[in-house]
Structure 1
Amino acid sequence: MGSDWVVPGWSVPARVRAAVTTRQGPGSSEPPFDRCNLGLRSGDVPEVVLGNRAAVAATLAPPSAPCWLQQVHGCEVAVLGAASVSGEPVADAAVTREPGRSLAILTADCLPVLFCDLAGEVVGAAHAGWRGLAAGVLERTVAAMGVSPARVVAWLGPSIGAPSYEVGEEVREAFLARDADCASCFAPTRPGHWLCDLAGLARRTLQAAGVGRIEGGGFDTFTDARFYSYRRDGARSGRFASLIWLAGV
């Protein structure tokens, strides 16, 4: 696909297809979004964003247009079947067994997580900002897949890295309340503030949920100019997408 895309380097059934867009993918957004902004709620021109989404779909060529979500930093999971989807479901994760039904997660520092099972029969995608992660979005996504967690493979996509992600005490306390041993994912900076390893917290969460294999990680959207970053760019940051679908048998 070239440098305009990130393809997960995971070992999964061949019918599982996935890709992550970058800001230099197909699109026509002007600065500061240049050019493949896919977020309708980012301040960009809506018609341009819709055109960018169409260009991404045309390039990736999934059997159907991606199902975009109205993400709210929560933990709801949309289970998508054969019926057509009207609008954007209000959810922060989606799961499907329907071949050709492509799932899309938008991020700009939050952690996108892609899922499939070892048989290549079900896929999922989740948006894990700190609020959704603390609320259980990853565990709920795994449960919605309807297979043994031991047969689930998860891939951690591009998110803000620990050296770039300073958070307040309330974030640390939210995770310590769930897992007292997660303190290793926080490093103190100034009083009441911590560097947070979001991908590390996700790994701990997935391991506790019994997920059989966890891959990916190692990104930092704040320092990697390929990606949009809300922390780096502010409220006028665009959004990139992590997509996954099942090809036909």
Structure 2
Amino acid sequence: MRIRRVITTREGGASRPPFDSFNLGGRVGDDPAAVAANQRKLAEGIGLAEDRLVWMEQIHGRNAAVVDGPVPEPVEATDALVTAEPGLALVALTADCVPVLLGDPESGVVAAVHAGRVGARVGVVVSALKAMREAGARLDRIEALLGPAACGECYEVPPEMQADVELHLPGSACKTSKGTTGLDIRAGLWEQLAAAGIARIGVDPRCTMESRELYSHRRDGGRTGRFAAVVWAEPEDQR
């Protein structure tokens, strides 16, 4: 199977400022009608029925939920979705956290992960990999994409927080462009994936805090939208 991955931007939607304009997050204070219109447009844009997109109620935890068909509401209290169902698209919403898209093209098992500082620290990607293996994926076949996120040059944190995250996610500690203590969560996740045996790891280098076409919770003062990272296995008869 072919693994398909899509990263949206904030452009081309129905939402008004400060959510302008392609906000896909339903829990940020945006007009629900605008969010619904944007979600429909996303489904149309990737060529899937709207009910083939699966969303999650992200809580910055490590739970990974396995789904085998359409789900009418966002999956409760989870930060990773896994499926072996072809043509079922899994969605992670972010605005500084790292979206991680995983797929085994041979088995067709895919996962979408919301990995912020807290979730990455407690092992949400590890949980997703475990669930993928149980669903039939093999670690040496999984391909990973680390999506746009706050980069290490911009993500400033107190020294104690940096040390704590580095302890649990080695490789994440860094210096910011100002020379202060920072975190590069993507770098830590890259190390974690490589240590788990994932050989094919791609990185979207865009920083959400620097790239105006993306939402950033930190840059925009906490009141902003969410962009989507979507993954699905394309059925053979649709190629």
Secondary structure of residue in 1 paired with 2:171: helix
Q: CA deviation at 1:62?
A: 2.1
Does residue 231 (structure 1) correspond to residue 218 (structure 2)? The answer is yes
Q: Is the 8 A contact 1:160 1:220 kept in 2?
A: yes
TM-score normalised by L of structure 2 = 0.90
Note the residue ranges of structure 2 that are not aligned, 5 or more in a row: none
Q: Is the 8 A contact 1:199 1:217 kept in 2?
A: no
Q: CA deviation at 1:222?
A: 0.5
TM-score normalised by L of structure 1 = 0.86
Question: 2:100 maps to what in 1?
Answer: 113
Aligned partner of 2:142: which letter? V
Does residue 164 (structure 1) correspond to residue 154 (structure 2)? The answer is yes
- Corresponding pairs, count: 231
Question: 2:187 maps to what in 1?
Answer: 200
Question: 1:5 maps to what in 2?
Answer: none
Secondary structure of residue in 2 paired with 1:95: strand
CA distance in 2, matches of 1:188, 1:243: 29
Match for 1:42 among 14, 24, 28? 28
CA deviation map 1:194-223 (0-9, x unaligned):
121111011111112221211123110101
CA distance in 1, matches of 2:161, 2:99: 19
Q: Please give the residue correspondences for 1:120-199 in structure 2 after superposition, counting only pairs within 5 Å.
A: 121-146=108-133, 147-178=137-168, 182=171, 185-187=173-175, 194-199=181-186
Structure 1 runs of 4+ aligned residues shifted over 3 Å read: 188-191
Q: CA deviation at 1:118?
A: 3.9
Secondary structure of residue in 2 paired with 1:19: strand
CA distance in 1, matches of 2:161, 2:177: 14
Secondary structure of residue in 1 paired with 2:193: helix
Match for 1:214 among 185, 201, 225? 201
Q: Is the 8 A contact 2:155 2:176 kept in 1?
A: no
Aligned partner of 1:52: which letter? N
Q: CA deviation at 1:85?
A: 1.8
Aligned partner of 1:245: which letter? W
Question: 1:3 maps to what in 2?
Answer: none
Note the residue ranges of structure 1 that are not aligned, 5 or more in a row: 1-12
Aligned partner of 1:172: which letter? Q
Q: CA deviation at 1:120?
A: 5.1
CA distance in 2, matches of 1:161, 1:41: 24
Question: 2:233 maps to what in 1?
Answer: 246
Q: CA deviation at 1:171?
A: 2.6
CA deviation map 1:171-202 (0-9, x unaligned):
323233335x537x3227889x6121111011
Q: Is the 8 A contact 1:130 1:171 kept in 2?
A: no
Q: Is the 8 A contact 2:3 2:104 kept in 1?
A: no
Question: 1:97 maps to what in 2?
Answer: 84
- Sequence identity, in percent? 37
CA distance in 2, matches of 1:121, 1:158: 24
Q: Is the 8 A contact 2:23 2:225 kept in 1?
A: yes
Q: Is the 8 A contact 1:40 1:49 kept in 2?
A: yes
